Amino acid sequence: MNSPVPPPPPLYLANPKSTNSQIKTDEEAPQPSSYVYDEAGIDEVQVKITCLPEWRSEQLSEETSTWLSVYTPVTAILQNGPQCGIVALCMASQLLCPQALTPDIVFEIAKSHKFTTYGEMFSVKNMCKLASILMDCEAIQLPNGLDDSETVFKHLDDGCPILVPYDKDESTAPCCRNGNKAHWAVVLGYLLPNVPPSIVSTLNQDKCFSNLYHKPKSVDLSSELTSHIQHNRSSVYVYAKQGKSKHLGVWSYQDLILSNNNLMEWQADKNELNEKDMVLPDGGIKEGLSGQIVLLKQK
């Protein structure tokens, strides 16, 4: 039997606005001296961005905009049982602790403080307490949640993680099911199309896509982008990881806001453990999770 044909090498879009259909490979493409940035996580971004309908549409029409990527990567951890919040906290700890937390340790500590029975975390307030107990960090319950985009994007610009409860669909992306599929993710950055030309000179161009730029750690863009993000919130994406997949999620920021705000009631899956034993705050998940997020940063 003939061996399968190997996949082609990655493509380099030398000039997305050019009408010339010839595409160069990485080896043929010029490598500008400005490529000086931390490449951790860049490959994840390059794979995921090509799956976005907006990005693909631009490439086909050859009317490309300038995209900004801000991403602080972590290693994915898969959950065992209803431990999505615990796993999200463990992934966030990779950015905050000399030695990252493990789900088993976090579960035992959470259980000893009566925050959980089986690993479930239905309270942002308790999640803040748990993070403060386990890590020498600040855990901030943001009153206005993701609607406070100025605080959210400044936090992500600084390379700090955010824990976000949301409703997940079958693909683990945000949806609105009234909280029946409540889940936790750690948000690690954002992706923004149509960035103002005035900031491009402060960014590092991607090696594979000439209209994709990455923010150096030393550059603070929050003041320049605050107004732009607020007026274009529907076109902003966020990077997230959660305990049901090893892959990076690239989600609509607006969809995540709606999902976070719609957490009103929770319903256990048929195969889950005894719902009566789970730790739910007074007022249920509407009181404990809806419209709330956790900002984590070093003291």
Give per-residue pLDDT as tens, 164-181: 999 999 999 999 999 999
CB atoms within 10 A of CB 53: 7
* pLDDT tens readout for residues 30-81: 333 333 345 778 999 999 999 999 998 888 887 788 999 999 999 999 999 9
Helix (H) / strand (E) containing 262? none
Q: Which of 151-165, 233-247, 263-277, 281-295 has the lowest mean pLDDT?
A: 263-277
What pLDDT is attached to residue 274? 65
| CA distances in angstroms from 258 to 49, 84, 195, listed in the order given | 22, 20, 24
* pLDDT tens readout for residues 89-134: 999 999 999 999 999 999 999 999 999 999 999 999 999 999 999 9
> Do 230 and 261 form a contact (C-beta atoms < 8 A)?
no
- Taking the C-alpha atoms of residue 159 and residue 142, their distance in angstroms, rounded to an integer, is 17
What pLDDT is attached to residue 136? 85
What pLDDT is attached to residue 60? 83
pLDDT confidence band for 20 (50 / 70 / 90): very low
Domain definitions of the chain by residue range: 35-165+183-255+291-299
Task: State the catalytic residue, choosing from 84, 90, 128, 160.
Answer: 84
Side-chain-side CA neighbours of 131 within 13 Å: the count stands at: 34
- Taking the C-alpha atoms of residue 100 and residue 91, their distance in angstroms, rounded to an integer, is 8
128 is catalytic: no
> Do 179 and 289 form a contact (C-beta atoms < 8 A)?
yes
Entry pTM: 0.85
What pLDDT is attached to residue 61? 80
* pLDDT tens readout for residues 255-287: 999 999 999 988 766 555 666 788 999 999 999
Q: Which candidate, 209, 193, 213, 207, places its Cα nearest to that of 13?
A: 209
* pLDDT tens readout for residues 7-19: 444 433 333 333 3
Backbone angles phi, psi at 114, to 5 degrees: 60, 35
What is the maximum span of the chain, computed from C-alpha positions, in angstroms?
A: 64
- Taking the C-alpha atoms of residue 117 and residue 82, their distance in angstroms, rounded to an integer, is 10
- Taking the C-alpha atoms of residue 14 and residue 29, their distance in angstroms, rounded to an integer, is 7
Side-chain-side CA neighbours of 247 within 13 Å: the count stands at: 11
Residues 6+ apart with CB under 8 A from 33: none
What pLDDT is attached to residue 270? 55
Query: 35-165+183-255+291-299 has which fold?
Result: Cathepsin B; Chain A (3.90.70)
